[in-house]
Chains A and B, each alone.
Chain A
Amino acid sequence: MTSNGHTAPPLLEVRRATKLFGGSVFTGKPPTVALDDITFSIPDGRPSITAIAGESGSGKTTLARMLLGIISPTAGSVLYRGRDVSKMRGSERTHFRREVQPIFQDPFESYNPFYRVDHVLTTPARNFKLGKSKSDLQTRVDEALEIVGLNPAETLGRFPHQLSGGQRQRVMVARALLLRPRIILADEPVSMVDASLRATILDSIRKLNRELGISVIYITHDLTTAYQISDNIVVLYRGSVAEAGSVERVIKDPSHPYTQLLVQSIPQADPSKRWGEAPVRGDMDRAGPATGCKFADRCPYVMDVCRQQSPPLFQPQPNRVASCFLLRESKVAPSPDVASVFDLPATATPVFKGARS
């Protein structure tokens, strides 16, 4: 990284990425647009937590898989430190695979039930040739488990079924951590875990960011936990960015009608704040409008222009963009990269206090 940090390319970048699935030239069936021209980046040097939120079908998992290099975009590109991920080969790809670590949704399916939990920790260590000696590796494993709040003596040597869902998911966080990544991508890491155990997992993810300086991409449908752990949020609707910016701004004062609908629908754990009876139009499962704003068919404020043109990203405040014609008095965002308006933590945290190997 250069000294001023601004000239360095972003750590991870999605540039004008579109992903289509299915469709047929023979039957004329149009493909499904899972992601539609998304531009988004994770800057180098100022680690933060970014939430990518949306309902089923919003494209959030497609985006996650693209960021991990599991699938390639149909158009556009995914770059890691300025290099196209889909063109990486050999040691470069191994390096990328090591620096961007996933944590998946289901802590039950990520394990082979016949192996002890040590297996998920030692396999990546072996593949990436971590540790100079056995004892060095053991120290690293213990350290990673301790960071996520697990006692190595009580965890290692056990079979997956002997651990709770929360513990299993924290071993997965430790596994990601073991490789000392720059970015952790967590895809719904707590949606299958009991409420009382969610807190500890989210806390360990927050710690990775605050104390170890790892950037986190938190993919979720749950705006409450997104609000709690993230600095910034990107709200996706049918593969496009509806709204993005500082989480305080977007969740506390949503400006896109879709974000408003989402926030109003959150079941708040407070009986004095019951849901309103605000009517909900339409259903996400129906095919969206072919032209214009993708939310036009459900929007309570729909105007003629919404059905004719796709709204650009407007920037009503310095730390927020939203793609809605209701904001057309505001300036159009100068950059398609929604991360350009993000509030980032002020100081750069050193990446791992110890030396990286």
Chain B
Amino acid sequence: MTTAPPAGAAPRSTDAGAALTIEDLKVYYDTPEGVVKAVDGVSFTLKQGERLALVGESGSGKSTLAMALMRLTKPPGRIAGGHIYTGDVDLVALDQREMRMRRLDDIALVPQGAMNSLNPVMRVDDQIMDGIVDHIPDGQKPPPKAEMRERVRSLLGRVGLAPHVARMFPHELSGGMKQRVAMAISISLDPKVIVADEPTSALDVVVQRQIMQTLGRLQEGLDAAVILIGHDMGLIAQFADRIGVMYAGKLVELGPVQHIFQDPLHPYTRLLIDSLPTLERKKDFVGIPGLPPALLNLPDGCVFHPRCPRFMSGKCDIESPGLLDARPGRTVSCHLYTEAHR
């Protein structure tokens, strides 16, 4: 395979080891000025137990993609095409009620800013039980109180919280503890896929490390796949197995974390990595020239060409590069590698 499947391709049977397969996913926003293509034809596969990080600047579409995976896209946004498979089920094709049963059970979200995602007037244990009770099939009785309490206790233990937290309200907890409660909720039904949307963006470095290490241990315990959404390349280098780089709604590069940091293929990825401050030595700052494009008015050809240091006139500004298998296990969307391929 040299390019991603074209739009409208028939759903294929998913790989046996795949926890999540995304095919040509499109999320568009209908605005009075026109259609904003926030996610435009993204495809990738996530293996069971794998940690994939999606990185990009604000407006690259990474959070829109995360919300679409949960089928939580809100109007004026809509999933305009593509498929999201967990196992054999296409989440895009499910109705709201069916999707509701899949959330938490198959695919769970660790939200950005847990402080705003918890109900301020519910105790922690009630919030954790809420999801569990909601997923009890119709006609079945909820388990006895004692059993539920034990379950909450064990979930809190797995995220590193003391049992007495169960009877506390969110305002009594620190930012890190709230994020841990949000993680306890997300793993309460042993999901196969965990979507973590900038889970530590408002936390201090020490707490951030603790939270990410807890998330890693939970993921290993469940053998679940994790999609980490973020813009902090440091955090991603620490956590991920693979990185997907998003730019203006498109996945421009995908590959193993070591390879991407050592030898980034896409010029954007290279600039992104070169712009990072390090603790190694003091250096001059290299920013990325120009600005991310307005999604309403995307440039022709490659979306990155106006900022690209390796821009090839007559090629990059005309033809949009497809996603190419440039190296084993690595894909990139750039004409530099189209040439090499021919």
Give Cα distance in the complex from A266 to B284, angstroms: 20
Instruction: Decide: A164 and B291 in contact? CB cutoff 8 A.
Output: yes
Q: Report the nearest B residue to A277, measured CB to CB.
A: B213
- A195: chain B residues within 8 A (beta carbon): 57, 231-233, 272, 275-276
Instruction: Decide: A224 and B234 in contact? CB cutoff 8 A.
Output: yes
Instruction: Decide: B237 and A269 in contact? CB cutoff 8 A.
Output: yes
B119 at the interface (CB under 8 A from A): no
Give Cα distance in the complex from A272 to B275, angstroms: 18
**Candidates B205, B272, B279, B291; contact of A55 at CB < 8 Å:** B205
A194 at the interface (CB under 8 A from B): yes
Instruction: Decide: A203 and B284 in contact? CB cutoff 8 A.
Output: yes
B123 at the interface (CB under 8 A from A): no
Q: Counting chain B CB atoms within 10 Å of each CB, which of A165, A225, A271, A280 scores highest?
A: A271
B286 at the interface (CB under 8 A from A): yes
B4 at the interface (CB under 8 A from A): no
Q: CB-CB contacts of B288-327 with A at 8 A, as 1s and 0s?
A: 1001100000000000000000000000000000000000
- B273: chain A residues within 8 A (beta carbon): 269
Instruction: Decide: A268 and B272 in contact? CB cutoff 8 A.
Output: no
Instruction: Decide: B279 and A268 in contact? CB cutoff 8 A.
Output: yes
The distance from the CB of B38 to the nearest CB of chain A, in whole angstroms, is 16
Instruction: Decide: B277 and A227 in contact? CB cutoff 8 A.
Output: yes
Give Cα distance in the complex from A261 to B204, angstroms: 12
Instruction: Decide: A224 and B58 in contact? CB cutoff 8 A.
Output: no
B12 at the interface (CB under 8 A from A): no
Instruction: Decide: A265 and B209 in contact? CB cutoff 8 A.
Output: yes
The distance from the CB of A4 to the nearest CB of chain B, in whole angstroms, is 30
Give Cα distance in the complex from A265 to B261, angstroms: 20
- A271: chain B residues within 8 A (beta carbon): 237-238, 257-258, 261
A310 at the interface (CB under 8 A from B): no
For this complex, into which size category does the number of interface residues on chain B fall?
35 or more
Q: CB-CB contacts of A186-199 with B at 8 A, as 1s and 0s?
A: 00000000111111
B176 at the interface (CB under 8 A from A): yes
Which positions 264-288 of chain B face chain A at CB distance < 8 Å? 271-273, 275-279, 282-288
Q: Report the nearest B residue to A196, measured CB to CB.
A: B288
Give Cα distance in the complex from A262 to B261, angstroms: 24
Which positions 168-205 of chain A face chain B at CB distance < 8 Å? 194-200, 202-203
- B234: chain A residues within 8 A (beta carbon): 224, 266-269
Q: Report the nearest B residue to A56, measured CB to CB.
A: B204
- B237: chain A residues within 8 A (beta carbon): 267-271, 274
Which positions 180-213 of chain B face chain A at CB distance < 8 Å? 204-210, 212-213
Q: Report the nearest A residue to B232, measured CB to CB.
A: A267
The distance from the CB of B238 to the nearest CB of chain A, in whole angstroms, is 5
Instruction: Decide: B258 and A272 in contact? CB cutoff 8 A.
Output: yes
Instruction: Decide: A285 and B174 in contact? CB cutoff 8 A.
Output: yes
A194 and B278 in contact (CB under 8 A), knowing A199-B287, A265-B208? no
- A284: chain B residues within 8 A (beta carbon): 174, 204, 206-207
Majority SS at the chain A contact face: helix
Instruction: Decide: A267 and B278 in contact? CB cutoff 8 A.
Output: no
- B207: chain A residues within 8 A (beta carbon): 283-284
**Candidates B176, B257, B277, B286; contact of A285 at CB < 8 Å:** B176
- A252: chain B residues within 8 A (beta carbon): 279
The distance from the CB of B273 to the nearest CB of chain A, in whole angstroms, is 7
Q: CB-CB contacts of A147-176 with B at 8 A, as 1s and 0s?
A: 000000000000000001111000000000
Instruction: Decide: B282 and A227 in contact? CB cutoff 8 A.
Output: yes
B165 at the interface (CB under 8 A from A): no
- B231: chain A residues within 8 A (beta carbon): 194-195
Instruction: Decide: B233 and A269 in contact? CB cutoff 8 A.
Output: yes
A228 at the interface (CB under 8 A from B): yes
Give Cα distance in the complex from A255 to B235, angstroms: 25
- B272: chain A residues within 8 A (beta carbon): 195-196
Instruction: Decide: B205 and A262 in contact? CB cutoff 8 A.
Output: yes
The distance from the CB of B109 to the nearest CB of chain A, in whole angstroms, is 22
Instruction: Decide: A262 and B278 in contact? CB cutoff 8 A.
Output: no
Instruction: Decide: B213 and A275 in contact? CB cutoff 8 A.
Output: yes
Instruction: Decide: A196 and B287 in contact? CB cutoff 8 A.
Output: yes
**Candidates B233, B258, B277; contact of A225 at CB < 8 Å:** B277
The distance from the CB of B210 to the nearest CB of chain A, in whole angstroms, is 6
Instruction: Decide: A269 and B204 in contact? CB cutoff 8 A.
Output: no
- A198: chain B residues within 8 A (beta carbon): 275, 277, 287
Instruction: Decide: A202 and B285 in contact? CB cutoff 8 A.
Output: yes
- A223: chain B residues within 8 A (beta carbon): 205, 279
- A200: chain B residues within 8 A (beta carbon): 285, 287
- A275: chain B residues within 8 A (beta carbon): 209, 212-213, 238
- B209: chain A residues within 8 A (beta carbon): 265, 267, 275, 280
Q: Report the nearest B residue to A263, measured CB to CB.
A: B279
Q: Report the nearest B residue to A272, measured CB to CB.
A: B258
Give Cα distance in the complex from A147 to B206, angstroms: 36
A256 at the interface (CB under 8 A from B): no
Give Cα distance in the complex from A277 to B231, angstroms: 23
The distance from the CB of B153 to the nearest CB of chain A, in whole angstroms, is 20
Which positions 219-266 of chain A face chain B at CB distance < 8 Å? 221, 223-225, 227-228, 251-252, 261-263, 265-266
The distance from the CB of B279 to the nearest CB of chain A, in whole angstroms, is 6
Instruction: Decide: B278 and A270 in contact? CB cutoff 8 A.
Output: yes
The distance from the CB of B290 to the nearest CB of chain A, in whole angstroms, is 10
Which positions 27-80 of chain A face chain B at CB distance < 8 Å? 55-56
Q: Report the nearest B residue to A190, measured CB to CB.
A: B277
18 contacts between A and B (CB under 8 A): A167-B291, A196-B275, A196-B288, A224-B234, A227-B279, A228-B278, A252-B279, A265-B205, A266-B279, A267-B232, A268-B238, A269-B233, A269-B273, A269-B278, A270-B237, A270-B278, A271-B237, A284-B207
Residues of B at under 8 Å CB distance from A? 57-58, 174-177, 204-210, 212-213, 231-235, 237-238, 257-258, 261, 271-273, 275-279, 282-288, 291-292
6 closest pairs, A vs B, by CB?
Answer: A267-B234, A285-B174, A199-B285, A199-B287, A55-B204, A200-B287
